[in-house]
Amino acid sequence: MSDQKQFLKQIWNGPFVTEAIVAINILVFLWLTIAGGSTNISVLVTHGALVPAFVRNGQAISSIFTSMFVHIGFEHILFNMIALYFIGRLLERIIGHWKFLVIYIFSGIFANFASLTFSNPNSISAGASGAIFGIIGVWLMMAEQYRDYPALIDMGKQMLLFSVLGVVSGLMGSNMNIVAHLGGLIAGFLVAYVIGFPQFGKTPTWKRSGSVILIVLMMGMFFKLAFTS
């Protein structure tokens, strides 16, 4: 009995949320492949990819969420899952399972709202990139806020470089959704202040309240521009 409890404890203490998200993404990708191919436009649209024009017309509202788990082609899911696995597992161990999950999901949804608002209405977007950039935003927040921890500062610098490279790559004309990347990055950075990580220190009230205000204002702007303009 003690061995079973120890085994369950090891699973609980491990980064099971990250691993579960990776597994879900892989299963969805396999399903898309069986259904007709992960680069087939009709398959992507009918299985949850985000098309701004459809959402604005009241169709496929759920794609704001489901598109986080849909990937276009093998390279897309390969690079995203590698990044999520290594960056996500480490962050989950530091901040805990449920804070990690909340930040991941919120960042992905926020990124998709940004994409919905500012991307070409007829474009097709999908992938975990927005949520992954949200994770990167958390690292940047911790590097800025908890300056008594050199390891967090060093990790923040690495994540900043990764972010800059991602933005530059998007500006140079790759198929990356730069709007979603920036949206996710901002969301992760701000919501990390709202949630806070007391194991490293107290987050100032003005930063928390300011982050809440910014999130509400930006979400309001997304809704107004996407659905009423």
In this prediction, residue 10 has a pLDDT band, given cuts at 50, 70 and 90, of low
- For residue 145, the number of C-alpha atoms closer than 13 Å in the C-beta half-sphere is 25
Supply the mean pLDDT for the chain.
89
Report the chain's C-alpha Rg in angstroms: 18
Contact between 84 and 101 (Cβ < 8 Å): no
Q: Is 163 a catalytic residue?
A: no
Average pLDDT, integer, range 45-60: 91
Provide the CA 17 distance to its chain's centre, in angstroms: 13
- Please name the CATH architecture into which domain 2-227 falls: Up-down Bundle (1.20)
Of 38-52, 98-112, 154-168, minimum mean pLDDT range: 154-168
pLDDT given at position 2? 59
pLDDT given at position 6? 59
Active-site hit among 67, 71, 181, 211: 181
| Helices and strands (H, E) in the chain, number of each type | 12, 0
Per-residue pLDDT at 45 exceeds 70: yes
From residue 25, give the alpha-carbon distance in Å to each of 3, 22, 180: 31, 5, 18
Per-residue pLDDT at 7 exceeds 50: no
Q: Is 38 a catalytic residue?
A: no
In this prediction, residue 212 has a pLDDT band, given cuts at 50, 70 and 90, of very high
Active-site hit among 38, 63, 67, 129: 129
Domain extents in the chain: 2-227
